[in-house]
Amino acid sequence: MKNILIAYFSHSGNTEIIATVISEKIGGKLFKIETVNTYPIEYNAVVAQARKELDADYRPVFAEKVDHLDQYDVIFIGYPNWWNTMPMGVFAFLEANGFSGKTIIPFCTHEGSGLGRSARDIQKVCPEASVLEGLAIRGSSSVKQAEKEIAFWLNKLGIN
């Protein structure tokens, strides 16, 4: 078994649920990506802030770094799909850590837009990494019932 890191950004808790299920299925270290400045709770306010950050190509400062990142071979990256891609804090996390030679596996929660362009964006930010097939789970209606879907996806990837 390779050394696995499950890094995730979760605003509403949905992505954290998926990260936890992945960890329960395959092990690995959970790492929550948190930004120094928090996001609003109210949906319309967070959507507006996310749009503003995307338009400005802003990189929020994240609160904590992963210790001994070099020991991990496989990195799962989880996030909510905001404006057809990852939150800008996830971009900052990827850029700060340089995942050369690593295998990155994206997963996201969404409200109808799937992975959007996030897998392509990960490949652009981490061109020397191998990006595998991601998983998109509809947040509000499916996340709590997604265990079988997650297990199927992990098995399809050969990670179980």
The label of the residue with tokens 């998926």 reads 18
Q: What is the pLDDT of residue 1?
A: 52
Full-model pTM: 0.94
User: CA 113 → CA 22, 35, 44, 83, 124, distances in Å?
Assistant: 21, 24, 17, 9, 20
Characterize the bridge pairing of strands 130-131 and 103-110. Answer: parallel
Q: Tell me, what's the pLDDT at 123?
A: 97
Tens-of-pLDDT digits for all 160 residues of the chain? 589 999 999 999 999 999 999 999 999 999 999 999 999 999 899 999 999 999 999 999 989 999 899 999 999 999 999 999 999 999 999 999 879 999 999 999 998 899 999 999 999 999 999 999 999 999 776 888 899 999 999 999 998 7
Total count of domains within the chain: 1
CATH number (domain holding residue 46): 3.40.50.360
Residue 154 three-state SS: helix
CA dihedral 60, 63, 66, 67 (to 10 degrees): 140
Domain limits for position 34: 4-157
Report helix, strand or coil for 30.
strand
Amino acid of residue 67:
D
Measured CA distances, 36 to 62, 69, 95, 146 (Å): 5, 20, 17, 30
